[in-house]
Structure 1
Amino acid sequence: MKRAFILLLDSFGLGATPDAAKYNDSGANTFGHIAAWAAKAGTPMNMPTLEKLGLAAAAHTACGRWADGFSQRDGFTAAYGAARERSTGKDTQSGHWEIAGVPVEFDWGYFPRTVPSFPAELTARLRELGNVPGFLGDCHASGTEIINKHGDEHVATGKPIIYTSADSVLQIAAHEESFGLERLYELCEIAFKLVEPYNIGRVIARPFVGANGKYTRTTNRHDYAVAPPAPTLLDHVKNGGGEVIALGKISDIFAAQGVSRVVKGADNMALFDALLKVADEAGDGALTFVNFVDFDQAFGHRRDVAGYSNALHEMDARLPEFMAKLREGDLVVVTADHGCDPTWTGSDHTREHIPMIFFGPGVQPRALGISDTFSDIGQTVAHHLGVQPLSNGTNLL
């Protein structure tokens, strides 16, 4: 019996890639800078499970230095390494697709850092088809900041809040109660069709609740995403008769392509609870792919170093629960899709190496070095499950 689990810690980078200067990210290091911050604060990070698996060693492989507070230098229990992205940019979709064997060989469209950010003809058509009185925002912004800035006016006028980022994305925020959740979804569906000529990867519905300048986003986010341009690992597993279980936003990122079952969760720990349940249920040949989004959404983009550190400690403390459920023939990989250094300037992703930490009952511990593509992860999983090889990547085990 063989099963596979991809545990993706969204945005958990291990240090800038050689081409990071093209993205103004030279020196970015999500893990390293969080560890340095914690050590300086007098509370060094303590993640014994991930450290024993080889996390700090993988980071040393990626950036040439050991993270502050991590002292283990040998005796690791996983096959560990790091990977560099072949795709251009540092987008969510690009990272996930490349892991699954489909690097993005084209350039996404992006909206400029101007105010307004969106073309006038686009917003005019969206206003007309969406039957809204206008828009607020229309700029690059942090999602939590922009809803608190414009939330009162949005509720008073019914004008949705639109914004973008360094990702290929158009985001629309609206109040669940005063504007309506289904109406927001309908507006995003219209926008998704309208941005097609601009080669935009996603339109994201960002519902929120609250009043009087104090607003919080809800768990009813929905991504309208372009489908991968070629079959991915998910397709290969599903076509080979295995179940593909997508936890969190995985199904949205792959436009539901190759997905058998969708499991949602309100936050990292809710998703971890779901992962434990799936670990009991998943059958032979199953692929479970989970995205722990809080690292990116709640802490990386918010530049919340303490929150990011706490979330990593929570994850490390719970991993033994999951590991206790592993069976003979199981393969697990802990990885990421890009960086989002919470000490970096701005609020965007950072171009970084990602971890590749493979473990399971049959995995022999060893150093894997640095892969030139995230697709090595997907190819290794495909080989383990015995499905059709991917068109990109090398089996590492």
Structure 2
Amino acid sequence: MAKALILMADSVGIGAAPDANDFGDVGANTLAHLLAEYHEKTGDKLSLPNLSRMGLIDACEAAGKEPCIIANRQTPISAWGYAKEISTGKDTPSGHWEMAGVPVLFDWGYFPKTVPTFPQELIDELIKRADLPGILGNCHASGTTILEQLGEEHIITGKPICYTSADSIFQIAAHEEHFGLDKLLKLCEITRELVDEYNIGRVIARPFLGESKDDFARTGNRRDYSVLPPSPTVLDKLSDAGTHVISIGKIADIYAHQGINEKHKAPGLMNLLAKTKQVFKEAKDNSLIFTNLVDFDEKFGHRRDAVGYAKALAQFDDYLPEILDELNEGDLLIITADHGCDPTWPGTEHTREYVPCLAYTKDMQPIALGQRETFADMGQTLAQWFDISKLNYGEGFAEQIKAK
């Protein structure tokens, strides 16, 4: 039996979703807008020949109804389309879970934008159980900005930096050496237990290094503590059926380590891609490799760095042939995203967008998949590809890909 690979290009949205008005995101388009911004600021058109061969540009123009400013565009050789989200939020777990066949049809809990943002009883219990001298932050904040503001005070006082965002999230930043990585992870485990009653989706450990606001930098030891998906995902079903499911990057954390047989971490985009190539090459038949390329979202989307985002996409594009060369007859590649994060949009939050639905197997006939009614169409396609029972959500397109 063949292998499959999912490349989750975190936050590469391709046009405002039909319900974008509910999220204040009408007009957002991560890919088209970062390409335009790159062209305006550098005078050059970004070249993405390999991603365009996978259908990314065609999908973006079909979904977003606006042209993509790009050089060296190629004709698609894949199945390409665009998927809308039926989950209630535009957060990371919702996008990943829906793609795996389990949309989030309930409302997450969120913390208000008041200062302080966290309930006092929650903080009191956290300080007590973790034996803390107190906390810093207690607000909505950008992860990089809050390090500049509070990182030095954190080192002096030993108080962890706790903050949130528009997502259902509780984030804790602490210095790997002065505070200790193990201590930070233990603190996040305690926090995970405490926020369950508030229906918070994730607690995230944000370790960093550096000695002043001028050189603070997050490390690759981030850890996400997610709640369990409300029902078995395609990862669970594949694993139960004997498929070897391999996580690369933060995938295992997002699925609360359920349905995962093997895990790999790697810091940064190029290391994640290199690790993906290595693991895919070494994996046996009947394996699914699932990689999250977090840098697009974390380093560029949230920081509203359109030019940096574009350059990272070009790096991805340059490396993609290395991965395509590893595909054998019958292997399947899916490239998608979990939400948008338009770097030209106001604020620093995710944007409600269509995501690319790109699928490729060697010697296939290219096909336009059109609009997919849910991200779960991709999970259903995986179920068909590996010949397991049908998922509750999604319409698969495996037979369209296989048709010669």
TM-score for both structures, normalised by structure 2: 0.96
Match in the other structure for 2:49: 48
1:191-215 deviation line (CA, Å, top 9, x unaligned): 1000011000110111111112231
Instruction: State the match for 1:336 in structure 2.
Output: 337
Tell me whether 289-298 or 355-364 shows the greater mean CA deviation. 355-364
- Per-residue CA deviation, residues 140-173 of structure 1 (Å, 9 max, x unaligned), is 1111110111011111111110000111100001
The answer to whether 1:137 aligns with 2:119 is: no
1:140-159 alignment to 2 at 5 Å?
A: 140-159=140-159
Quote the Cα distance in structure 2 between the aligned partners of 1:285 and 1:387: 12
What is the SS of the residue equivalent to 2:180?
helix
Alpha-carbon distance between aligned partners in 1 of 2:247 and 2:98, rounded to the nearest angstrom:
17
The corresponding residue for 2:213 is 213
8 Å Cα contact 1:51-1:70 kept in structure 2: no
Secondary structure (helix, strand or coil) at the match of 2:139 reads strand
Q: Which residue of 1 aligns with 2:104?
A: 104
What is the deviation of 1:320? 0.4
The equivalent residue for 2:353 is: 352
Deviation at 1:38, TM superposition (A): 1.8
> Which amino acid counterpart does residue 301 of structure 1 have in structure 2?
H
Q: Is the 8 A contact 2:52 2:75 kept in 1?
A: no
- Mapped partners of 2:176, 2:279: distance in 1: 31
Question: Is the Cα–Cα contact under 8 Å of residues 192 and 203 in structure 2 kept in the other structure?
Answer: yes
- SS of residue matched to 2:70: coil
* Structure 2 CA distance for partners of 1:265 and 1:71, relative to 1, 3 Å: closer
Alignment of 1:355-394 (within 5 A): 355-394=356-395
The whole-number CA distance in structure 2 between the counterparts of 1:374 and 1:19 is 15
Compare 60-69 and 230-239 and name the one that shifted more.
60-69
- 1:329/1:362 contact within 8 Å kept: no
8 Å contact 2:48–2:70 — kept in the other structure?
no
Encode CA deviations 1:344-377: one digit per residue, 9 max, x unaligned: 1111111000001111115321111111100001
What aligned pairs does 1:40-79 form with structure 2 within 5 A after superposition?
A: 40-41=40-41, 42-69=43-70, 72=73, 75-79=75-79
Aligned length: 396
Alignment partners' CA distance in 2, 1:311 and 1:40: 17
After TM superposition, give the deviation of residue 70 of structure 1 in Å: 5.3
Secondary structure of the 1:302 match is coil
Aligned residue number for residue 257 of structure 1: 258
Amino acid at match of 1:114: T
Structure 2 distance, partners of 1:363, 1:98, is 26
Residue 71 of structure 1: CA displacement?
A: 7.2
After superposition, where does 1:103-252 map in structure 2 within 5 Å?
A: 103-214=103-214, 215-252=216-253
What is the letter of the counterpart of residue 218 of structure 2? Answer: R
Q: How far apart are 1:65 and its partner, in Å?
A: 2.0
- Aligned position for 2:3: 3
Whole-Å separation in 2 of the counterparts to 1:194 and 1:53: 44
Contact 2:16-2:29 at 8 Å conserved across structures: yes
1:258-297 residue pairs with structure 2 within 5 A? 258-297=259-298
Secondary structure, in 3 states, of the residue corresponding to 1:195? helix
Q: Is the 8 A contact 2:335 2:358 kept in 1?
A: yes
Distance, in Å, in 2 between the alignment partners of 1:358 and 1:269 is 22
Give RMSD over aligned pairs: 1.1
Aligned to 2:81: 81
Counterpart residue number, 2:401: none
> Alignment identity in percent?
51
Give me the whole-angstrom Cα distance separating, in 1, the residues matched to 2:40 and 2:306: 12
C-alpha contact (below 8 Å) 2:47/2:72 kept by paired residues: no
**Structure 1 residue identity aligned to 2:44:** T
TM-aligned CA deviation for residue 105 of structure 1:
1.1
Contact 1:15 1:30 in 2 (8 A): yes
Provide, for residues 268-315 of structure 1, a one-character-per-residue CA deviation record: whole Å limited to 9, x for no partner.
110111111112112221111100000011111111111101100000
Unaligned runs of 5+ in 1: none
Q: CA deviation at 1:66?
A: 2.1
Partners of 2:147 and 2:122 in 1: how far apart? Answer: 21
Q: Deviations over 1:97-152 (max 9, x none)?
A: 00000000110001111111111111111111111111111111111110111011
Letter in 1 for 2:76: F
